């Protein structure tokens, strides 16, 4: 995995905010509703105080006459608070889940671009953690961060003016409290805890990778009595995650303490200021109402900024998730997908289909192929033979342009262009002309029919069955209770290695590409199944070009030409 780029918290937030642009109108509507809802919540106790004071002054029922107006407004405001809050949350979550779907789509698209060259050897559990929990945590940012920041600012301005009307000094005190609680404390906390949040998400991803690999290796763990060692390593990962979590909890606890101290301090200071105003001006009922209103307004108005302050406790993890997702989205593929090149149409006159000239290739510092010349004739079965690790499979992947050669050139015989460099061919066109049977066939959790038709989802059942017959697996499938509609387990867990391999071969037959690459296609098969499949491959070789990588001499017998590596 390449080194992650450096992202500041501000950069991460700006990048995430760019995604909101298509839904900006809905977000603005949600902010308006949220501002109104918070003001309603703040003015419920204020109106209650006004109603009680007016009732006491006039000695009337607080629910009747002119003195009952504040109480009636209180009831109306309380009802509106519920309506506004619901509508605001609906808008914010609508935006959040729409954007999460968009981000997941972008991530899957990026994984497709990076595959296979940049994903080879990557920890699958870490990727799964990113696709699931990391992206899910971004919901906190979109639904509970962007709107609350704007709402807190607007409400703070409104309440500063309102309290300032009662007492300018109280207004200044409250404004200072809003700034401390809503900006200074959370920004400082986020800055101090960002690295801890990043460590926590990384540890979480590593733990997922370990769990995934442990589940896949469960049978071997039981076979070799290695469960204690696995359990010990799991405990170590869990302890590491717990340490990161405890650091975050400490930051959260300290922030809550500071926030409460500031809120209580501001309330006390406003109370003192209003008491002095009462003493200096000869207290009357109106001044008493102003004093109580200012104090109650101060105590009830910190809700939006406290909510904003509390966000930083989760925001450090959210931004860490955003950083991990953005680092993936910003990665450049080693082999960019070609879309503005030429479409590959195989020449029906050239005797040479593929010419690899002076090619060299290596994985990082490990050289695999050096200054190699290979000529692949058209319409033949070509066997590729050699010891393990000599680059046979690597050569096949270069012909499919999973990787690009470090040096040299691979030229394809094209009907429209006399000798076209493989780097100039559109990727989709190249893939359409090639079928690939890997050493380990990937099986999805679906029916056997859909697994065979993975490369041609629109294939009919007759076409699927014909491909299965060529791969000598039709009779086995028909012996199952549901035939081709039989569900297979995850990763083909309900099938044997040979059955999975034959499904992979049937998949390649159904794709019906003019070029077939087969990497150890019979390694998991017995002699009878191998003979049947080799016979079908030999027949396919009459109309296609087949490249077969194999250690078996029996497989090499069907080759018209053998290339030794």
Per-residue pLDDT at 292 exceeds 60: yes
Q: Is the pLDDT of residue 79 over 90?
A: yes
Q: What pLDDT band is residue 57 in, cutting at 50, 70 and 90?
A: low
pTM attached to this predicted model: 0.66
CATH code at 352-564: 3.40.50.300
501-539: buried (b, 16+ CB within 10 Å) or exposed (e) per residue?
bbbbbbbbbbbbbbbbbbbbbbbbbeeebbebbbebbee
pLDDT digits (tens, 9 = 90+) for 100-156: 888 888 888 888 888 776 666 566 667 777 777 788 878 778 877 788 889 999 999
User: What mean pLDDT comes out for the span 220-233?
Assistant: 76
pLDDT at 2: 45
> How far apart (Å, rounded) are the C-alpha atoms in residues 512 and 466?
12
Does the pLDDT at position 1 exceed 50? no
Q: Residue 216 and residue 87: Cα distance in Å, rounded? A: 46
Q: Which residue has the tokens 């049947």?
A: 532
CATH architecture of 9-329: Up-down Bundle (1.20)
pLDDT at 192 over 80: no
Of 388, 402, 390, 335, nearest in space to 374 by CA: 390
299, two tokens: 């105590």
Does position 354 have pLDDT exceeding 60, yes or no?
yes
Q: What is the percent of the chain where pLDDT is above 90? A: 18
Q: For 424-481, write each residue's pLDDT tens digit.
A: 999 889 988 998 888 778 888 889 999 999 888 889 999 999 999 988 889 989 998 8
Q: Residue 266 — very low, low, confident or very high, per pLDDT cuts 50/70/90?
A: very high
The sheet carrying 407-412 orders its strands as: 366-377, 352-363, 407-412, 420-421
Tell me the C-alpha to C-alpha distance, in Å, between residue 186 and each of 6, 147, 305, 315.
22, 16, 10, 9
Least confident of 6-10, 146-150, 323-327, 418-422: 6-10
Under DSSP, the state recorded for 66 is G
**Every domain of the chain and the residues it spans:** 9-329, 352-564
* pLDDT for residue 268 is more than 70: yes
Average pLDDT value for residue range 92-105:
87
Q: Where are the alpha helices (DSSP H) in 301-391?
A: 303-329
**Alpha-carbon span 546 to 560, nearest angstrom:** 10
- Indicate whether 172 pLDDT > 90: yes
Confidence (pLDDT) at 312: 64
């Amino acid at each position: 995995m390449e080194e992650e780029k450096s992202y500041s918290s501000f950069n991460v937030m700006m990048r995430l905010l760019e995604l909101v642009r298509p839904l900006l109108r809905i977000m603005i509507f949600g902010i308006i509703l949220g501002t109104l809802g918070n003001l309603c919540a703040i003015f419920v106790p204020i109106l209650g105080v006004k109603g009680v004071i007016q009732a006491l002054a006039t000695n009337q029922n607080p629910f009747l006459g002119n003195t009952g107006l504040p109480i009636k407004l209180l009831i109306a405001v309380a009802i509106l608070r519920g309506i506004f809050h619901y509508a605001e949350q609906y808008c914010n979550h609508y935006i959040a889940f729409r954007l999460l779907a968009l981000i997941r789509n972008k991530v899957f698209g990026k994984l497709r671009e990076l595959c296979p060259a940049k994903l080879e050897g990557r920890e699958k559990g870490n990727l799964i953690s990113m696709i699931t929990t990391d992206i899910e945590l971004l919901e906190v940012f979109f639904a509970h961060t962007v709107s609350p920041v704007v709402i807190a600012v607007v409400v703070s301005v409104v309440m500063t003016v309102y309290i300032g009307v009662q007492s300018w000094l109280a207004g200044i005190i409250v404004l200072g409290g809003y700034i401390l609680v809503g900006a200074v404390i959370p920004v400082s906390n986020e800055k101090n805890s960002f690295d801890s949040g990043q460590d926590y998400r990384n540890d979480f991803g590593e733990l997922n990778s370990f769990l995934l690999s442990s589940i896949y290796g469960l049978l071997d763990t039981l076979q070799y009595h290695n469960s204690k060692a696995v359990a010990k390593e799991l405990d170590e990962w869990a302890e590491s995650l717990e340490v990161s979590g405890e650091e975050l909890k400490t930051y959260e606890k300290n922030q809550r303490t500071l926030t409460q101290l500031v809120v209580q301090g501001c309330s006390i200071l406003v109370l003192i200021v209003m008491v002095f105003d009462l003493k200096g001006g000869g207290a009357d009922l109106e001044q008493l109402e102003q004093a109580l209103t200012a104090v109650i307004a101060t105590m009830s108005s910190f809700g939006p900024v406290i909510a904003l302050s509390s966000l930083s406790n989760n925001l450090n993890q959210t931004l860490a998730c955003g950083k991990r997702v953005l680092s993936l989205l910003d990665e450049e593929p080693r082999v960019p997908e070609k879309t503005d090149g030429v479409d590959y149409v195989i020449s029906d006159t050239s005797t040479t289909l593929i010419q690899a000239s002076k090619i060299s290739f290596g994985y990082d510092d490990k050289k695999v192929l050096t200054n190699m010349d290979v000529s692949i004739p058209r319409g033949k079965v070509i066997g590729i033979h050699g010891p393990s690790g000599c680059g046979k499979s690597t050569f096949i992947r270069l012909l499919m342009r999973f990787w690009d050669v470090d040096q040299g050139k691979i030229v394809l015989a094209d009907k429209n262009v006399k000798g076209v460099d493989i780097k100039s061919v559109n990727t989709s066109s190249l893939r359409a002309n090639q079928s690939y049977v890997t050493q380990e066939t990937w099986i999805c959790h679906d029916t056997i029919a859909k697994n065979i038709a993975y490369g041609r989802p629109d294939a009919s059942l007759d076409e699927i069955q014909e491909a299965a017959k060529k791969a000598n697996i039709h009779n086995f499938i028909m012996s199952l209770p549901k035939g081709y509609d039989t569900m297979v387990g995850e990763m083909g867990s309900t099938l044997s290695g040979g059955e999975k391999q034959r499904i992979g071969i049937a998949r390649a037959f159904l794709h019906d590409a003019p070029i077939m690459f087969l990497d150890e296609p019979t390694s998991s098969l017995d002699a009878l199944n191998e003979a049947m499949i080799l016979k079908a491959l030999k027949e396919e070789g009459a109309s296609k070009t087949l490249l077969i990588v194999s250690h078996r001499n029996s497989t090499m017998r069907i080759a018209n030409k053998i290339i030794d590596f």
